């Protein structure tokens, strides 16, 4: 009887331990999931305000004096509340529309960042007097929030209310175009060689070890490579989309090779044997049968590789892609910046107003990356074939 | 003409030529066969490709050779001359192809051979990349070690390159302290932050993997696994911003509440955030190895009356240990080379301390700092980035290789 009691006690103890361990596991995964929510809530809460912006209705006088001193175009009372970026454009307005000369026009213009910050209850550099003016105008309906079009249609600027992501988006597209133009064909050919053509010899094994190692090399070392070889040795222009794109291409190459090989390996050998059986050459077997069948898998891997290249910053900093780029680059050899680098530049700006821009830039970047990854997952789900 | 225009005009000339060559080769083959493709050794298309290969291969080879020689400064020919020569060679190749196409010509074998070489060249790019990384870092690091003693670099405890910069700018006075390049504080900071990151990532990642592979119902697993992958897809610059602006003040507040003094650029913040970044890495690798253990081992353990947690602790974890160790090593190698989080959230000041609440700097921070400044490229401070990069490369190379070997052994065990 005593032995039985002891055994029961021990079993209860073991079950309690089991419960504890399971709770620990659930706790760990909950922590990880919780973090995702905290993270997204934090970034959204910091960034959503940047998508709207204060506008102020002022009377703009296009006379001789305001062409010389643009600040004189608006009355002294509202002058500190209007964005200096707008005032600089005043002579340009007259140039593009000569009829404006000598007239006074009432129009909605971008407000200064101080107004913006004040109305969003953030820290602001406005004087108490200016704050009173803002309150008065706000009540009169002459200061209102509107969608922040500057954020999407303008390049970088030292004035937060005028800064936008356009030049960074164009730079990102150019850089990724270079990256994929180099990495995709090279990666595809390497993978086809290793999976379909190569015999298992030393050279092949050496390449394999190499690729696996390259996939784990810290990305910043690719930046050192890009700086030393592409810029200093080959003379590619610094800060250009070409230099950044080539650097990222080398970094993306192993990812594409590894995923393409997995996709090729998923095609069963019976397909290859069937092709050989009707007299196809190796090249015909690959291009007519194996590649079309594995294309969804290859595309999935390439999209994931591209998404990774798109979020990469460190190697690009080393090849100079964190320059101040106010207008979008026209070609791959011109100085450019990319979205993550733009986020980094804004994050290191001293003005508080750049914080919300940084978070908004992050939201745009994350939206694009999540879309890319979701596309990859859908592609895999939709076209994946089990043999 | 700039280099870019040369390359563009070369390609612009080559592409229509290739199209032309394909069409001509194919037609020629059909003509010599009297319109009956049965008489040909290969399919007509192969004769087209044969013409393309004969046209393009010599021209591309010449262009690449000339570019290489010019880059090394061995020849100095005008670009237009090289361009003209390459295009002439292309025309010559096309003419030869036209002449040699016969019904008995084994075009398929020749094209297959050419394609094989093309593929080998593509596969070699990865070797060239490794060589490129190694050589570019090694050569610049050598220049650095000519200025700074390698032993001093590895064992010195003071890192103050700024005076070297002043000297380089011609403002170094007689009484100025000499620049010191002792990398120990940088590596101390790197290892400290890595250790904190692993202390966060390993328990959470491993327990998550155990939950996903052993406890979670299929539906939960299907929902949670992609969510964790979202974590892996977040760019590091975003983690850096999150660390600097949200986590750092939080850590300082908590430390102050506990009566401790913490810097806003403390080592704990980047460590924690980096740990979160590595969680999906550890969990997905561990999940893979735990799931790879054959079902019969679990069933044997259950049959003996063990509870699931006892099975996990005494059967599954020991069996999966090599895989988990390699996941751990790969995680460490990631943390060592991580850049943006530490650049944005850790300090710039080299500091040899064991207190994670103080500001510390890391190897990667100093690399970025040295190369984004406006010093001359040949200044010791700029070159020091390459020396640091070399050490980082060697450490991660060893770690990755060890991890790969361990994981290969593990896979063989259960195949």
Tens digits of per-residue pLDDT, A94-118? Answer: 888 887 777 888 888 888 888 888 8
CB atoms within 10 A of CB B107: 26
Would the pLDDT of B413 be above 80? no
Q: Which of B124, B144, B164 is the last residue of a domain?
A: B144
| Token duo for residue A273 | 């044997």
Domain shared by A86 and A223, yes or no = no
CB B281 within 8 A of CB B200: no
Q: Name the pLDDT band for B175 (thresholds 50, 70, 90).
A: very low
Residue B165, domain member (yes or no): no
The conformation of residue B176, written as its DSSP 8-state character, comes to: P
Q: Name the pLDDT band for A364 (thresholds 50, 70, 90).
A: very high
Query: Cα separation of A34 and B226, whole Å?
Result: 14
Domain shared by A172 and A315, yes or no = yes
DSSP string for A208-270: HHHHHHHHHS-HHHHHHHIIIIIIIIS-PPTTBHHHHHHHHHHHHHHHHHHHHHHHHHTS-HH
Q: Return the closest-CA partner of residue B341 out of A309, A219, A308, A351.
A: A219
Q: Which of residues 36-55 of B touch A (CB under 8 A)?
A: none
Domain shared by B193 and B138, yes or no = no
Residue B66, domain member (yes or no): yes
Residue A338, domain member (yes or no): yes
Domain shared by B127 and B204, yes or no = no
Sheet strand arrangement including A52-61: A104-110, A52-61, A143-147
Q: What ranges in B293-362 are assigned the alpha helix state H?
A: 295-303, 308-311, 317-337, 340-345
What is the number of domains present in chain B? 2
Residue B290, domain member (yes or no): yes
Would the pLDDT of B411 be above 80? no
Query: Cα separation of A12 and B410, whole Å?
Result: 36
Largest CA distance in chain B: 96
The CATH number of the domain holding residue B305 is 1.10.3720.10
Nearest to B308 among A18, A42, A212 (CB): A18
Nearest to B237 among A43, A218, A340 (CB): A340
Q: Which of B41, B52, B72, B119 to mutate to test the interface with A (most CBs of A within 10 A)?
A: B119
Residue B265, domain member (yes or no): yes
Distances in Å between the Cα of A115 and the Cα atoms of A83, A138, A153, B303 are: 9, 10, 21, 72
Q: Which residue's structure tokens are 């202390």?
A: B199
Smallest CA–CA distance, residue A147 to chain B, in Å, is 24
- Mean pLDDT (chain A) is 88
- Cα dihedral A54→A58→A61→A67 (10° resolution): -20
What number of H helices and E strands is found in chain A? 16, 3
Q: Which of B128, B144, B160 is the last residue of a domain?
A: B144
Domain shared by B192 and B117, yes or no = no
Question: To the nearest whole percent, how much of chain A has pLDDT over 70?
Answer: 99
Would the pLDDT of B383 be above 80? yes
What is the number of domains present in chain A? 2
Domain shared by B402 and B265, yes or no = yes
Residue B157, domain member (yes or no): no
Would the pLDDT of B16 be above 50? yes
Q: Return the closest-CA partner of residue A61 out of A111, A107, A97.
A: A107
Domain shared by B61 and B136, yes or no = yes
Q: Which of B2, B117, B122 to mutate to test the interface with A (most CBs of A within 10 A)?
A: B122
Average pLDDT of the segment spanning B21-50: 87
Residue B168, domain member (yes or no): no
Would the pLDDT of A206 be above 90? no
Neighboring chain B residues of A347 at a CB cutoff of 8 Å: 237, 240-241, 244-245, 344
- Report the Cα A132 to chain-centroid distance in Å: 40
Neighboring chain B residues of A343 at a CB cutoff of 8 Å: 237-238, 241
Would the pLDDT of B224 be above 70? yes
Domain shared by B226 and B354, yes or no = yes
Domain shared by A121 and A175, yes or no = no
Q: Name the pLDDT band for B301 (thresholds 50, 70, 90).
A: very high
Domain shared by B193 and B323, yes or no = yes
DSSP string for A112-137: PHHHHHHHTTS-----HHHHHHHHHH
CB A137 within 8 A of CB A59: no
Q: How many residues are listed for chain A in this entry?
A: 387
Domain shared by A255 and A320, yes or no = yes
Interchain CB contacts (distance < 8 Å): A and B:
251
Average pLDDT of the segment spanning B86-107: 87
Query: Cα separation of A340 and A338, whole Å?
Result: 6
Q: Which of A118, A146, A174 is the last residue of a domain?
A: A146
Distances in Å between the Cα of A172 and the Cα atoms of A9, A245, A277, A364 are: 65, 9, 47, 13
CB atoms within 10 A of CB A353: 23
| Token duo for residue A70 | 């643009």
CB atoms within 10 A of CB B98: 16
Domain shared by B212 and B328, yes or no = yes
Domain shared by B114 and B204, yes or no = no
Residue A44, domain member (yes or no): no
Domain shared by A183 and A125, yes or no = no
CB A225 within 8 A of CB B132: yes
For B319-369, write each residue's pLDDT tens digit. Answer: 999 889 999 999 999 999 999 999 999 888 888 888 888 888 899 998 998
Residue B154, domain member (yes or no): no
CB atoms within 10 A of CB B57: 16
Query: Cα separation of B228 and B279, whole Å?
Result: 8
Smallest CA–CA distance, residue B32 to chain A, in Å, is 23
Domain shared by B218 and B82, yes or no = no
Domain shared by A205 and A78, yes or no = no
Neighboring chain A residues of B368 at a CB cutoff of 8 Å: 220, 314, 317-318
| Token duo for residue A267 | 């095609």
- Enclosing domain of residue B205: 180-413
- Mean pLDDT (chain B) is 86
pLDDT given for residue B162 in this prediction = 66
Q: Which of A92, A117, A146 is the last residue of a domain?
A: A146
Strands A52-61 and B159-160: unpaired
Q: Name the pLDDT band for A362 (thresholds 50, 70, 90).
A: very high
pLDDT given for residue B375 in this prediction = 66
Average pLDDT of the segment spanning B44-61: 89
Domain shared by B63 and B189, yes or no = no
Q: What angle do CA A329, A363, A317 make, to 5 degrees?
A: 45
Domain shared by A91 and A175, yes or no = no
pLDDT given for residue B1 in this prediction = 44
Domain shared by A61 and A136, yes or no = yes
The CATH number of the domain holding residue A368 is 1.10.3720.10
The conformation of residue B114, written as its DSSP 8-state character, comes to: H
Would the pLDDT of B23 be above 60? yes
Query: Cα separation of A338 and A332, whole Å?
Result: 12
Q: Which of B68, B137, B238, B307 to mutate to test the interface with A (most CBs of A within 10 A)?
A: B238
- Enclosing domain of residue A181: 166-383
Integer-rounded Cα radius of gyration of chain A: 29
Domain shared by A140 and A233, yes or no = no
Structural element, H or E, at residue A59 = strand A52-61
Would the pLDDT of B310 be above 70? yes
**In chain A, which residue's Cα lies nearest the Cα of B134?**
A225
* Residue B236 to residue A314, Cβ atoms within 8 A: yes
| Token duo for residue A35 | 């973090």
* Residue A46 to residue B309, Cβ atoms within 8 A: no
User: pTM of the full predicted structure?
Assistant: 0.88
Q: Name the pLDDT band for B174 (thresholds 50, 70, 90).
A: very low
Domain shared by A202 and A255, yes or no = yes
| Token duo for residue B350 | 């080299």
Domain shared by A64 and A196, yes or no = no
CB A211 within 8 A of CB A256: no
Domain shared by B223 and B357, yes or no = yes
Residue B368, domain member (yes or no): yes
Coil vs helix vs strand at A41: helix
CB B289 within 8 A of CB B325: no
Q: Is B81 exposed, middle or buried (0-12, 13-18, 19+ CB in 10 A)?
A: exposed
Nearest to A254 among B4, B126, B206 (CB): B126
Residue A154, domain member (yes or no): no
* Residue A39 to residue B393, Cβ atoms within 8 A: no
Q: Which residue's structure tokens are 């692993």?
A: B198
For A270-302, write each residue's pLDDT tens digit. Answer: 999 999 999 999 999 999 999 999 998 999 999
| Token duo for residue A228 | 């030393």
Domain shared by A226 and A349, yes or no = yes
């Amino acid at each position: 009887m005593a032995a039985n009691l002891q055994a029961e006690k021990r079993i209860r103890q073991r079950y309690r331990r089991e419960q504890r361990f399971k709770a620990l596991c659930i706790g760990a995964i909950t922590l990880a999931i919780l973090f995702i929510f905290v993270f997204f809530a934090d970034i959204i809460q910091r960034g959503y305000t940047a998508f709207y912006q204060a506008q102020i209705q002022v009377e703009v006088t296009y006379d001789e004096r305001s062409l010389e001193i643009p600040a004189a175009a608006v009355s002294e009372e509202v002058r500190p509340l209007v964005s200096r970026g707008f005032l600089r454009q005043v002579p340009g307005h007259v140039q593009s529309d000569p009829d404006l000369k000598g007239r006074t026009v009432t129009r909605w213009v971008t407000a200064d960042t101080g107004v913006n910050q004040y109305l969003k209850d953030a820290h602001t550099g406005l004087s108490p007097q200016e704050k009173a003016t803002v309150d008065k105008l706000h009540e009169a309906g002459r200061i209102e929030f509107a969608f922040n079009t500057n954020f999407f249609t303008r390049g970088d600027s030292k004035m937060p209310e005028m800064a936008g992501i356009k030049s960074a988006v164009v730079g990102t597209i150019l850089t990724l175009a270079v990256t994929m133009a180099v990495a995709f064909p090279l990666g595809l050919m390497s993978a086809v060689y290793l999976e379909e053509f190569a015999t298992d010899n030393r050279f092949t094994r050496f390449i394999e070890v190499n690729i696996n190692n390259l996939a784990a090399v810290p990305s910043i070392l690719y930046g050192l490579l890009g700086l030393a070889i592409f810029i200093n040795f080959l003379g590619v222009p610094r800060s250009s989309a070409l230099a950044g794109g080539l650097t990222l291409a080398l970094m993306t190459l192993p990812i594409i090779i590894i995923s393409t090989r997995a996709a090729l390996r998923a095609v069963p050998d019976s397909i290859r044997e069937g092709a050989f059986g009707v007299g196809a050459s190796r090249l015909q077997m690959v291009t007519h049968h194996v590649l079309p069948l594995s294309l969804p898998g290859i595309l999935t891997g390439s999209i994931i590789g591209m998404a990774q290249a798109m979020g990469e910053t460190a190697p690009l900093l080393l090849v100079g892609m964190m320059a101040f780029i106010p207008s979008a680059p026209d070609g791959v050899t011109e100085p450019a910046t990319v979205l993550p680098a733009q986020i980094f530049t804004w994050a290191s700006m001293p003005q508080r107003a750049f914080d919300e821009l940084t978070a908004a830039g992050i939201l745009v970047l994350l939206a694009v990356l999540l879309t890319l990854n979701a596309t990859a997952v859908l592609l895999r789900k939709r076209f994946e074939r089990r043999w | 003409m700039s280099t870019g225009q040369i390359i563009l005009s070369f390609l612009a000339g080559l592409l229509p030529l290739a199209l032309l060559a394909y069409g001509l080769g194919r037609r020629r083959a059909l003509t010599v066969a009297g319109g009956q493709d049965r008489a040909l050794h290969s399919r007509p298309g192969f004769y087209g490709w044969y013409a393309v290969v004969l046209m393009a291969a010599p021209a591309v080879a010449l262009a690449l050779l000339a570019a290489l020689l010019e880059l090394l400064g061995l020849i100095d020919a005008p670009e237009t001359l090289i361009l003209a020569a390459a295009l002439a060679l292309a025309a010559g190749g096309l003419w030869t192809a036209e002449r040699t196409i016969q019904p008995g010509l084994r075009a398929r074998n020749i094209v297959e051979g050419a394609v094989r070489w093309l593929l080998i060249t593509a596969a070699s790019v990865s070797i060239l990349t490794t060589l490129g990384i190694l050589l570019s870092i090694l050569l610049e690091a050598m220049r650095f070690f000519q200025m700074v003693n390698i032993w001093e670099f590895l064992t010195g405890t003071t890192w103050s390159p700024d005076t070297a910069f002043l000297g380089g700018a011609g403002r170094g006075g007689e009484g100025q302290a000499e620049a010191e390049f002792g990398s120990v504080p940088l590596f101390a900071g790197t290892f400290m932050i890595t250790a904190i990151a692993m202390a966060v990532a390993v328990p959470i990642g491993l327990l998550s993997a155990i939950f996903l592979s052993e406890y979670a119902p299929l539906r939960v697993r299907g929902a949670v696994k992609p969510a964790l992958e979202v974590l892996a897809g977040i760019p590091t610059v975003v983690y850096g911003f999150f660390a600097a602006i949200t986590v750092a003040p939080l850590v300082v507040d908590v430390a102050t509440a506990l009566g401790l003094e913490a810097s806003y650029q403390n080592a704990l913040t980047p460590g924690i955030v980096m740990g979160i970044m590595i969680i999906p890495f550890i969990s997905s690798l561990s999940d893979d190895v735990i799931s790879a253990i054959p079902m019969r081992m679990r069933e044997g353990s259950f049959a003996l009356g063990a509870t699931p947690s006892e099975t996990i602790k005494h059967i599954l974890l020991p069996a999966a240990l090599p895989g988990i160790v390699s996941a751990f090593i790969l995680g460490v190698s990631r943390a060592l080379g991580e850049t943006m989080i530490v650049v944005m959230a850790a300090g710039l000041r080299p500091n040899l301390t064991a207190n994670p609440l103080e500001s510390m700097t890391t190897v990667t921070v100093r690399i970025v700092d040295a190369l984004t400044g406006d010093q001359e490229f040949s200044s010791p401070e700029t070159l020091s980035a390459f020396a640091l990069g070399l050490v980082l490369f060697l450490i991660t190379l060893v770690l990755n290789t060890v991890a790969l070997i361990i994981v290969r052994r593990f896979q063989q065990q259960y195949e």
